[in-house]
Amino acid sequence: MRYCREEAPSDRSVAFAGYDLSSSGRLPLMREDYGSGSRIATDYEPFDGAKERTRLWVRMLVQTADEVVMDVGGVHAPVANALRRIMLVEVPTMAVEYVTVHRNSSILHDEQLAHRLGLVPVLADARAFAERPPGSAAATARDTLRFRLRVEAPSETTSTPNGGRAQSTAVYSDQIEWVPLDAAPQPAARPRLMPGILLAKLAPGQAIDLEMDAVKGYGQEHAKWSPVATAAYRMAPRVQITRDIIGEQAQRLVRLCPMHVFDIEDGTGRAVVRRERDCTRCEECVRVVRAPVIDTADDIEEDEGEGEEEAMPPEDAADTDASFARSIRLGHDPEHFIFSVESTGQYRADVIFLEALHILKHKCVRLLQEIQRRPEEEGFG
Amino acid sequence: MADDNLPDRFEAVVLPEGVRKLRYEPDTKVEHCGTFYIEREDHTLANLIRAQLLRDDNVLFAAYRVPHPLEHLVVLRVQTRSARYTPLEAFCAALAALKNEAHVLEDELASEVQRWAAVRQTATSATAGAAVGAPPAAPR
């Protein structure tokens, strides 16, 4: 079906009644026919905000400035994976990109020093900055944070407190100072680099004097712009006891599990699943230990050359002393993900996740808008 | 220089001048089938859209590929079951659903962050400096 161009309606929200591209709007599925402009019925289930709300849920379990552990439920693996990938390489941060070395007599080469500076987290919110166009030399306060590092180690003749020879001087990221670029209003908090990071060591008399520009960028370009140290997820483990395990056996099960998933119920002495989340699915509890057949004189005669024979418990047998394979079911919930995100310091960890969701949403909106523009050029057949 | 033919790093991110973010070409041989060319995107979005399309009962075929690792382009081919539902519509429906999903998750996380803040506040006002554990489960 060819797309017939028609006069663009003055109010786009009418033509695309099904679409509300504003960030807050609930977005029902498309009802307009793209081809002829006539209305068609689609079998596709329209978006139901209330239903979606019960399906999707988020629960934070650990929240510190640097780290967040949260449960995300109701999403499918591709969504979880997209979020993880976005957090890793598509959430922008500021990082040192241009270094002008005025003087560097340290043992580190200029480029090595510049590389180290690039990796130091810049504690500033990149969302407040514009991207500096590639190749542009002119830095403005809108797109650049400028810092200066000036250190000089005391010369050899300077006496040291311990009376011996002058020692090496450590240069830390704390010594880097922010340089305001123009008459821009001073921000409430002075931008700085993550303190406490060793940059170089200077021998007596050596000096470093350099200026650096931090610009906004993405982890896709270079890992120094990645806002996370770790952004990972795992599916929530599910452990089920399908047959009662009691008494001695229950105690053995509790001892067997290296992650202490199981516990014994008071009174009944029954084994219960207590810390399901801790299960790493090591399968120690369901491992079938194959007991080698004890060699007797007869056996040796019978199967010579065959080192050891292994025996599996028959299908209908109760659990052997070695395994709970028939009483425990191990699995995972494919729609329940446990995310753990560690920040490198630029953002709070939960903010990174929020940003990733925002970016994902923006990607979808961007493509929808691209279609909405209905340009006359080729490409929309 | 050794890096003469080294592509610029920003090429993965910046859409070049005059290049369309999205192109759609209907298939000339197969009915209600078409190909989307999405510039400056990778597996992150392509796999997501593909998975979403496959959840749609009216979509017969959906798959994507990255033609070349140095070209930041993904190619997504979609075939629907009937002419009453075009690939373009399916594509829009998938994007809209994904957009909504991200939106709902955003709301959920924002309210979760608020819940934690509230719990922290009550904990600090009740016993100053007391360690704050996980807040009680919120009703779903």
Residues 78-117 of A with CB under 8 A from B: 78-79, 81-82, 85-86, 90
CA angle A169, A145, A140 (to 5 degrees): 140
What is the DSSP track for A91-133?
Answer: S-EEEEEEEEEEEE-SSS-HHHHHHHHHHSPEES-GGGSPPPP
Domain boundary assignment for chain A:
45-91+229-233+333-378, 93-224
- Closest chain B CA to residue A68: B113
Separation CA A153–CA A205 (nearest Å) = 5
CA distances from B47 to A79, A126, A353 (A): 9, 28, 20
Separation CA A40–CA A67 (nearest Å) = 48
Structure confidence at residue B7 (pLDDT): 84
Separation CA A287–CA A276 (nearest Å) = 18
Mean pLDDT of chain B: 87
CATH architecture of A45-91+229-233+333-378: 2-Layer Sandwich (3.30)
Tell me, what DSSP letter sits at residue A372? H
Judged by CB atoms closer than 8 Å, whether chains meet at B95 and A29 is answered as no
Domain boundary assignment for chain B:
9-121
Structure confidence at residue A298 (pLDDT): 53
* A60 HSE (CA, 13 A, CB side): 27
Tell me, what DSSP letter sits at residue A324? -
Structure confidence at residue B105 (pLDDT): 94
Separation CA A375–CA A369 (nearest Å) = 11
Structure confidence at residue A55 (pLDDT): 84
Structure confidence at residue A13 (pLDDT): 29
| CB proximity B140 to A under 8 Å | yes
Burial (CB < 10 A; 0-12, 13-18, 19+), residue A52, is middle
Which residues, 6 or more positions from B129, have their beta carbon under 8 angstroms from its beta carbon?
none
Separation CA B120–CA B116 (nearest Å) = 6
Separation CA A82–CA B45 (nearest Å) = 7
Backbone phi and psi for residue A259, each to the nearest 5 degrees, phi listed first: -95, 5
- Closest chain A CA to residue B49: A78
Which residues, 6 or more positions from B66, have their beta carbon under 8 angstroms from its beta carbon?
B42, B43, B46, B73, B74, B75
Q: What is the mean pLDDT of residues B15-22?
A: 90
Q: Which CATH number, 3.40.50.970, 3.30.1360.10, 1.10.20.60, 3.30.43.10, labels domain B9-121?
A: 3.30.1360.10
Structure confidence at residue A21 (pLDDT): 33
Tell me the pLDDT of chain A (381 aa) as tens digits. Answer: 233 333 333 333 222 323 333 333 333 333 333 333 323 333 344 456 666 667 899 999 988 889 999 999 999 999 999 999 999 999 999 999 999 999 999 999 999 999 999 999 999 999 989 988 877 668 888 889 999 999 999 887 655 566 666 678 999 999 999 998 876 666 667 889 999 999 999 999 999 999 999 999 999 999 999 999 999 999 999 999 999 999 899 999 999 999 999 999 998 999 999 999 999 999 888 887 665 656 555 544 444 444 444 445 455 455 555 578 889 999 999 999 999 999 999 999 999 999 999 999 999 999 999 888 765 544 554
Maximum C-alpha span of chain A: 97
Polymer length of chain B = 140
Judged by CB atoms closer than 8 Å, whether chains meet at B47 and A75 is answered as no
| CB proximity A367 to B under 8 Å | yes
Contact call for residues A68 and A62 (beta carbons, < 8 A): yes
pTM of the model: 0.79
Structure confidence at residue B3 (pLDDT): 75
CATH architecture of A93-224: Beta Complex (2.170)
Give which of B25, B48, B82, B84 to mutate to test A binding, by max A Cβ within 10 Å.
Answer: B48
Tell me, what DSSP letter sits at residue B36? E
Higher pLDDT, B14 or A316: B14
Structure confidence at residue A168 (pLDDT): 86
Which among B13, B14, B95 has the least Cβ separation from residue A368? B95
Separation CA A231–CA A84 (nearest Å) = 6
Which residues, 6 or more positions from B51, have their beta carbon under 8 angstroms from its beta carbon?
A76, A77, A78
| CB proximity B104 to A under 8 Å | yes
Q: pLDDT, tens digit, for every residue of B51-110?
A: 999 999 999 999 999 999 999 999 999 999 999 999 999 999 999 999 999 999 999 999
| Res. B116: pLDDT tops 60 | yes
- Closest chain A CA to residue B87: A34
Q: Which two tokens stand for residue A277?
A: 């989340």
